Amino acid sequence: MNDSVVSHNDSQNSEENQDSANKREQFGNRFLTNEKNVFDFNAWDNVEWDQELLDQAEAKIKNNSSVLMPHEKAEDYEKKAGDYWNKFYSIHENKFFKDRNWLFTEFPELLGNSELNEENFKIFEVGCGVGNTIFPILRSNNDPSLYVYGCDFSSSAIEILKQSPDYNEQRCKAFVCDITDLHKNEFPIKEGELDIIVMIFVLSAIKPEKQFETIKNLVKLLKPGGKILFRDYGLYDLAQLRFKPGQCLEKNFYVRGDGTFVKFFTQDDLDKLFTECGLVKEQNISDKRLQINRGKQLKMYRVWIQTKYSKPKI
Ligand SMILES: C[S@@+](CC[C@H](N)C(=O)[O-])C[C@H]1O[C@@H](n2cnc3c(N)ncnc32)[C@H](O)[C@@H]1O
């Protein structure tokens, strides 16, 4: 692999496994009030970006977007997107992403909601990978009315997920599916069946021109009052600034060194997308964190966007 190109290993691991490096209880409360203390801890929350930082980020993006990937090469990556994710899981198996234990702090809705719940409580995780969200949900809620679906593009990921001792078809069902094309496969979920759809670092892997249609189709699966819970990369995240020219396909959309796609969202991008698909905003926040490598005295500015949008009841 080309060293100069961002891969999962050097950029994605930390943001998606934020709770593995730092205990969740510490998050949300650690504010940097005096720059002199910056290397005292591993992470700082809600970091304000000053103009200098914004200008530096803009300059890096301008530079890495200055040479776009040729159209034919970009199309080839798209055709083989599933193969690249399969390769990713064949290499990393279930050891790359850690269980998302921060889930319930950010998304307490996953623990059940009597207001939504009629006879059953159904959750669907899109792009579930090897089950780092599905299994924590199943472990934290033993209610027999809970049922969790999960789908992923990658057959390798679904095979690994199904080998887990926690996989039990009485309580969950995992299947291979490309969510940009729900009609292609035999799809097990009916319209209006779901209470919650979870999307964690998955929409970023989908070509921007397909995102609207994808969300529109997912919205059909929600019950009235059901919600999409979303967390993904934000504009100016360290992973975006590290790209080199030639990996950009279009504005804020890149191919990593391992062939997988990644989009960096603004809060407005997501508000437009979800509201145009008929949903109503409940939350749309930008989580700006400063991670510190104390040994190397390195500052790493991370940006994630977290949203909750619901389907109107009538
Ligand atoms: C960054 S991983 C995140 C996995 C999981 N959500 C988690 O948080 O551990 C992105 C996942 O999305 C899946 N994916 C990408 N494009 C997809 C598509 N069109 N349909 C279904 N899954 C897709 C990939 O195979 C991969 O497992």
C-alpha distance from residue 152 to each of 223, 280, 281 (Å) = 22, 26, 26
Please report the pLDDT score of residue 73 as a whole number. Answer: 92
Per-residue pLDDT band at 113 (split at 50, 70, 90):
low
Contact 127/199 with Cβ under 8 angstroms?
A: yes
Instruction: From the CA of 132, give the closest atom in ligand 1.
Output: 9
Number of domains in the chain: 1
- pLDDT tens track for 215-231: 999 999 999 999 999 99
- In three-state secondary structure terms, 130 is coil
Per-residue pLDDT band at 3 (split at 50, 70, 90):
very low
Any domain includes 236: yes
Contact 203/292 with Cβ under 8 angstroms?
A: no
Q: Is the CB of 64 under 6 A from ligand 1?
A: no
Any domain includes 3: no
CATH of the domain at 103: 3.40.50.150
Instruction: From the CA of 86, give the closest atom in ligand 1.
Output: 25
Spacing, Cα 114 to ligand 1 middle (Å): 29
Q: Is the CB of 19 under 6 A from ligand 1?
A: no
- 244-249's contacts with Cβ under 8 Å and 24+ in sequence apart are 244/4, 244/5, 244/6, 244/64, 245/63, 245/64, 245/65, 245/66, 245/67, 246/67, 246/69, 247/5, 247/6, 247/64, 247/69, 248/64, 248/65, 248/67, 248/68, 248/69, 249/68, 249/69, 249/74, 249/77
Distance CA 100, CA 43 (A): 18
Spacing, Cα 179 to ligand 1 middle (Å): 10
What is the rounded average pLDDT of the residues 191-208? 97
Q: Is the CB of 154 under 6 A from ligand 1?
A: yes
Report H helices in the chain: 13-16, 18-21, 51-64, 71-79, 81-92, 103-106, 134-140, 155-162, 208-221, 238-241, 267-276
Question: Which residue's entry shows tokens 């509201």?
Answer: 275
Any domain includes 100: yes
Of residues 310, 283, 222, 287, the one with CA closest to residue 27: 287
- In three-state secondary structure terms, 295 is coil
Sheet of 194-200: strand order equals 43-44, 280-293, 298-310, 222-233, 194-200, 121-126, 146-152, 172-176
Any domain includes 233: yes
What is the rounded average pLDDT of the residues 11-22? 46
Name beta bridge partners: 307.
Answer: 230, 284
Give the domain extent around 288.
8-310
Spacing, Cα 177 to ligand 1 middle (Å): 10
Any domain includes 237: yes
Spacing, Cα 199 to ligand 1 middle (Å): 9
Percent over 70 (pLDDT), the chain? 88
Question: Which residue's entry shows tokens 């990937």?
Answer: 69
Distance CA 207, CA 261 (A): 8
Q: Extract the runs of DSSP E, i.e. beta strands, from the chain.
A: 43-44, 121-126, 146-152, 172-176, 194-200, 222-233, 248-250, 253-255, 261-263, 280-293, 298-310
For residue 99, pLDDT beyond 90 = no
Distance CA 213, CA 277 (A): 9
Spacing, Cα 80 to ligand 1 middle (Å): 14
Nearest CA to ligand 1 atom 18: 178
Any domain includes 2: no
For residue 233, pLDDT beyond 90 = yes
DSSP state of 97: S
- pLDDT tens track for 30-78: 877 777 777 777 887 888 888 999 999 999 999 999 999 998 999 999 9
- In three-state secondary structure terms, 91 is helix
Any domain includes 1: no
Q: How far is CA 271 from the centre of its chain?
A: 16
- Name which of 56-60, 82-86, 113-117, 309-313 the model is least confident about: 113-117
